[in-house]
Amino acid sequence: MSATTEHFGKHPGAVPTGSQLQALNQWVLETAMLTEPARIHWCDGSDSEFEDLIAQMQADGSLLPLNPDTHPNSWLHRSDPDDVARVEHLTFVCTADRDVAGPNNHWMAPDEAHVKMDALFAGCMRGRTMYVIPYCMGPIDSPLARCGVEITDSPYVVANMRIMTRMGAAALARIEREGSFVRGLHSTGELDPERRFIMHFPEELLIQSYGSGYGGNALLGKKCHALRIASYQARQEGWLAEHMLIVGIENPQGETHYIAAAFPSACGKTNLAMLIPPESYRKAGWKVWTVGDDICWMRPGADGRLYAINPEAGYFGVAPGTSDKSNPNALASIQRDTIFTNVATTHDQQPWWEGLDDRVPAKDWQGRDYAPGNGPAAHPNSRFTVSAKQCPSYSPEAENPQGVPISAIVFGGRRASLVPLVFEARDWTHGVLIGASMGSETTAAATGAVGVMRRDPMAMKPFCGYNFADYFAHWLSFDKPDAKLPKIFHVNWFRKGDDGKFLWPGFGDNMRVLEWMIGRVEDRADALDTPIGRLPRAEDLNLEGAALSAEAREKLFAVDRDAWRAESENIAAYLQDYGDRVPAALHAERARLAERLKT
């Protein structure tokens, strides 16, 4: 192996020294011997390094500059057409005991997985640069933040990781202080779908990903570290790593409540995180602050409340459907300094996607002349990567190392029927059952059929790094005598009427539901006690200016007992999938739900 430390551009990344970094240096050396790169570059996260990376990718055509007048410092990346989404069926959790991974994960024995991956990685970086990316998930000085190092041969990954994490010298310094980090090894390989695996070794704090350049498979700090590995760490250390947005709701009196909300991918997390209230709310003095749009790490504070940080520093958002109507803040965020992936382009090289406006694109996401017969112009899972600080509603509290106190936890998914607009859990155990049993119709964020209802507990089905039964028990464990836990709610923005159209206007009008939740937290809003939980009546929400049909007012605030009895039985059958490890308290709570539905 003849790799040398690369003098990348004008600013070479220095090989770190220090006794605490001996393990890191040894791992990098062993990885280089396995993958045989031509060069090794230690990333420092500097502006000049980023500029050199961009210039390199523009030179080789893997990054295309967009219109500098409308979208300065913005670029388009087109991925391989067979590499456009997470691949859940090729994503494995590798633990010594299969039951630790659980039936919710694809499992492979660690020894078998290492042999398989070593064979794939052998010599895979010949002629390429091996980038070493030290990064921190969370504010660099937060006690809840955790560090990692990703090794990759993709400059596209490096550029995205710089936006999505606190990457470079400061992270390396923290790794040296702590001596602990999550290891991630990634190679795009040949981008062969038959030679593509994403392996997680939670007991080793190790991730290995081969054969994909797509974000969720390649940006290892994101789902792989911040959810699959971190959820395992969180159970060991007494905190929660969740697939949740964090949003702050400031009332006219200047008081802010923070809400953490879990939705499956492409179900409106970013829209809710960046919500703009209706005009009447804005005039009254309500404000919304964005802390995070996708991932939330929570831990109990000294006062018994849960405190949360957003471990990410940027947004890797879904482009289609993002518009001035649906999410003005997101659209404003991505007008500059943004990397777009698999969107279409207009004649003057502006990014475009379905739902943006009524222009006709010139090139589709594969670079072909746009033709409607070829399908959507932008891939349904096309993305934008941008710094969180560019969001107009960005909260400075996102950098608070202690996190923000959480007043409410919200679960929600796409349900065309059955589930009302919003209901409140009776207590923490009931709330855990609500989260554990939530269902949603699938979207384009993962490969496979779209529109199929599946159970997606806490929106963590693709992301929990260990057995769901143990995960439910971990959630239940936070209910202690001295705890001041958030109220738990469930929402459904996607209920449809008899005509197949959505009954609730959604988007900014979701503020009306959030206001009711805050009223419940403050014990000043009314609710009706029902078998499934506490529901508002239509008159309990501020619906001034909201155009709701009579059908909407009837179905959004009602409980169909017969349909919910069937749902209760389905939940019971679903919990049985996890066998004897399911906490008895959860079965008992489900039984209480069934009993309430009888009377």
95 labelled ligand-binding: no
| Residues 194, 298: Cα–Cα separation, whole Å | 37
Cα dist from 50 to 44, 201, 333, 385, whole Å = 9, 30, 20, 14
265 labelled ligand-binding: yes
464 labelled ligand-binding: no
How many Å separate Cα 100 from the centre of its chain?
23
Residue 104: how many other CB atoms lie within 10 Å: 22
Paired sense of beta strands 487-491 and 404-412, if any: parallel
216 labelled ligand-binding: yes
Burial 357-380 (b: 16+ CB within 10 A, else e): eeeebbbbbeeeebeeeeebbbbb
Backbone angles phi, psi at 281, to 5 degrees: -70, -45
267 labelled ligand-binding: yes
382 labelled ligand-binding: yes
* Residue 317 backbone class (left: φ over 0; alpha: ψ -120 to 50; beta: rest): beta
How many Å separate Cα 302 from the centre of its chain?
27
Backbone angles phi, psi at 303, to 5 degrees: -90, 5
215 labelled ligand-binding: yes
| Residues 428, 436: Cα–Cα separation, whole Å | 12
Closest CA to 43 of 166, 128, 146, 139: 166
| Residues 180, 20: Cα–Cα separation, whole Å | 9
| Residues 177, 19: Cα–Cα separation, whole Å | 10
508 labelled ligand-binding: yes
269 labelled ligand-binding: yes
292 labelled ligand-binding: no
214 labelled ligand-binding: yes
| Residues 185, 208: Cα–Cα separation, whole Å | 5
Per-state percent for the chain, helix, strand, coil, to nearest 5: 35, 25, 45
114 labelled ligand-binding: no
Closest CA to 189 of 158, 160, 218: 218
86 labelled ligand-binding: yes
Element of type H or E holding 535 = strand 533-535
507 labelled ligand-binding: yes
287 labelled ligand-binding: no
| Residues 556, 502: Cα–Cα separation, whole Å | 11
- Which one from 124, 147, 224, 267 is the annotated catalytic residue? 267
146 labelled ligand-binding: no
Residue 256: how many other CB atoms lie within 10 Å: 18
| Residues 83, 85: Cα–Cα separation, whole Å | 6
Instruction: Give the relative orientation of helices 468-476 and 428-437 as an angle to the nearest 10 degrees.
Output: 160
* Residue 267 annotated to the active site: yes
Contact 263, 269 (CB under 8 A): yes
Instruction: Look up tokens 């112009």; give the residue.
Output: 377
228 labelled ligand-binding: no
268 labelled ligand-binding: yes
Element of type H or E holding 113 = helix 110-121
Cα dist from 473 to 94, 101, 164, 432, 438, whole Å = 21, 15, 31, 9, 16
Rounded to 5°, angle at Cα 400 from 398 and 405: 85
| Residues of the binding site for substrate | 86, 214-216, 265, 381-383
| Residues of the binding site for Mn(2+) | 223, 243, 294
| Residues of the binding site for GTP | 266-271, 383, 414, 507-510
Residues taking part in catalysis: 267
| Residues of the binding site | 86, 214-216, 223, 243, 265-271, 294, 381-383, 414, 507-510
